[in-house]
Structure 1
Amino acid sequence: MTEPAAQSFPGATTRERHPLKAIPAADWAAALESAAKEVFGPEWEQQLAKFIVFLRRRVSGDYSVDEYGFDRELTQRFLLAVLRPIKEKWFRVEVRGIENIPTDGGALIVSNHSGTIPMDGLMTMVSVHDELGRNLRPLGADLVFRLPIVGNIARKAGATLACSEDAERMLRGGELVGVWPEGFKGIGKPYSERYKLQRFGRGGFVSSALRTGVPIVPLSVVGAEEIYPLVGNIPALAKVLGLPYLPITPFFPLLGPLGLVPLPSKWLIEFGEPIRTDAYDSSEADDPMLVFNVTDQVRETIQQTLYRLLGERASVFG
């Protein structure tokens, strides 16, 4: 018995059935317009045009940075835009006391530090810009600027080395400067010590404020302690990698990259009343007792505010 001859059909070939050719050009245009409205909003045509101009300037090198490497346009149009949904949708940051930050002129914002990675600094930067329209210039540890990619991004976002010379130059120039005196001791402390302030160094930030006569604004942040609960450390491996600590959390490294996703804790950040320094003579910045007393005042203000905010927060994730 012979096999029946293969029947040929005049249907379309594989090439002719390409999925892109099955969609009319008008449908593609409608889909792209819908996507543009979703990304850029109702005035998507104007926003898209501005975005194209922005990209053209970046490619051609037609943009400026200040003496510290701060790229204002890139920070506002890209970096803060990326962080804003995390602030508003993930951590649901509630900002209080923004009126305590001067609307112009130099000021020093001093905050507690926590969270295993410095997410609190990033959320503070976005909050200050959104609420006040000012750019917060963070002071960072030298390790930040030694890291590949991270160091370059930090510079472009307005950060500079945490040294008195740069801090005082910025403050005299009318900048809003942020400092986290606990340093790595704050963000790397165990979860069992959450919201207990570590030592504030030797008070170098107070000396800078006294020399420049700018107000010190205490900042208390509740919520960052819970994003990566630190339950352990691997000091030997951290030393090999040149890191201050290598964290172990309930999800990292157990869940691999998934463990790097921060938990969606509810954040409260409150800017306290400014502590004025313009009544002192700049020479008093070298008085160790005065520096100690002001440092202790700032630290105690932040600590007591943390306790109060913890009592007001309904729940960690609520």
Structure 2
Amino acid sequence: METLNRERCKSLQPHGVDCHLLYLVDGSGLQNFQMNSRTIFVTNEDDEIRMILDREQYDCITVSSDYLMLERLRGLGYRGPIIYEAQGLGSYSAARAFLHDAKIYIEPHAAALLYPNTTHLKSLFTEIYPGKKHYCFDNCLDTENFSYRSLGFSSLPIIGWVGRIESNKNWQMFLDIVTKFTRLVPDYKIWLFEDDQISPEKELFKSRVEQLKLNSRIESFANVPHHQMADYYSMIGDSGGFLCSTSVMEGFGYAVLEAMSCRCPVVTSDSDGVRSFVTHNLTGKLFAQQDVNGAVAEAFDLVCNLSLREFIRTRAITRAREQFSPQLYANRFLSMLKDLV
């Protein structure tokens, strides 16, 4: 959500929409904002939130994921339209349970629902909330600024992975994939990017890394500032490596799109949300859920078939620029606001 919030604010600002952000707790993602007390608030205190609402008189509020906030905002006096937004809610069963639990808060308090163009979210929201206004469109990425950078070549090719160390990101499968892949192609480095403040299975991960004897191969990066990730993706792509994504279910999957924007080819599980931007053998490589051997085969084809690899890198960056432009997102978001405000 932190990435989307930044991208959304940037895309809407040129159109005269002043976006303010409220985070209930501090976190590593806030390092990516140029902090301004007028537009970014971090508080979970009712009195402070009420003061912000009274002072700013917002025309519309979007609530992301935290459905309890819908009733809370009404209790604090906000009477304008509230859009309830979900970008990723874990596995299909977890998302279904979550949206059913949220119903007693969403039905009376949300004017509309917003979610990315993702099959499982579209299906669940349509089924559970047939009477609500629905808005479904792709997120955006500033591919002009978050893009490929020529920084020289690594001495060895690199496999990258980005995510929290938790079950939905499926780090176990990633370790199995790189173990098998590096038996076929030994001279590879592994770069792992994580948010170590929200990685609940870190100890299990460490134990499994040791068991597989991957300690010497893996270099971990914690809480890298967002703008620096373009450097890392570019280096992975130029090294002859790739980004591997193993998520069970994604609402969108920003890391994959960001890698594509930086000419870093992607080998990813078919986690639903990535279908918006990854077309197999056109803009990336897809493999079936839990199919380790299939993932290894696709990765091997990507690194050995140099003409296909270059074709994918070129088509991927074109897809990122054309389908996920800030202007396109702003047009869709503004159209939604005109319906509601």
Fold shared per TM-score above 0.5: no
TM-score by length of 1: 0.29
Name which one, 1 or 2, has greater alpha-carbon Rg: 1
TM-score by length of 2: 0.27
